[in-house]
Amino acid sequence: MLTPGDPIPDFTLQTDSGASVSRAGLLGTRYVLYFYPKDDTPGCTKEACSFRDNLPDFKAIGAQVFGVSADDEGKHAKFVKKYALNFPLLADPEHAFIEACGLWLEKSMYGKKYMGIHRGTYVVDAQGQVEKVWEKVKPETHGADVLAYLKS
């Protein structure tokens, strides 16, 4: 994982609506990148809805929110529509950005090992550097937890 003070790796990713978001385009803005394993799964849905429900307060303090997973734009679009998500989801199907951020790791389920996304979050400052890191999150309250940090 990245640590506070590290620069966010360069990226340009497509959103659920087909727009492009890049590190360069976000310079001058404080933003949240939360990484999650898969669209429309129980924990990921709870986490996305937590950010959705808190988004007006993120906007009020000038912070943008982006969800990042290896799902493609089409899956993201269905997830956004199904749960009325009000922030962009970034598609990284080749997981190059996820890997560069240190969140593509070996996982284990029922004794079977596989590579996948480790749930984690970065707050990025206006200069494009990591300001705060969450290595472990509680999906149900994560949006509110990140918001509380940003307001402190």
For the annotated catalytic residues, the residue numbers are 44
DSSP state of 6: P
From the list 20, 45, 74, 102, the residue with the least C-alpha distance to 53 is 45
Residue 1, both tokens:
């994982």
- How many helices and strands in the chain, by DSSP H and E? 5, 9
73-83 and 42-60 helices, crossing angle to 10°:
70
Q: What is the dihedral of CA 21, 27, 30, 32, to 10 degrees?
A: 30
Tally of CB atoms within 10 A around 123 = 19
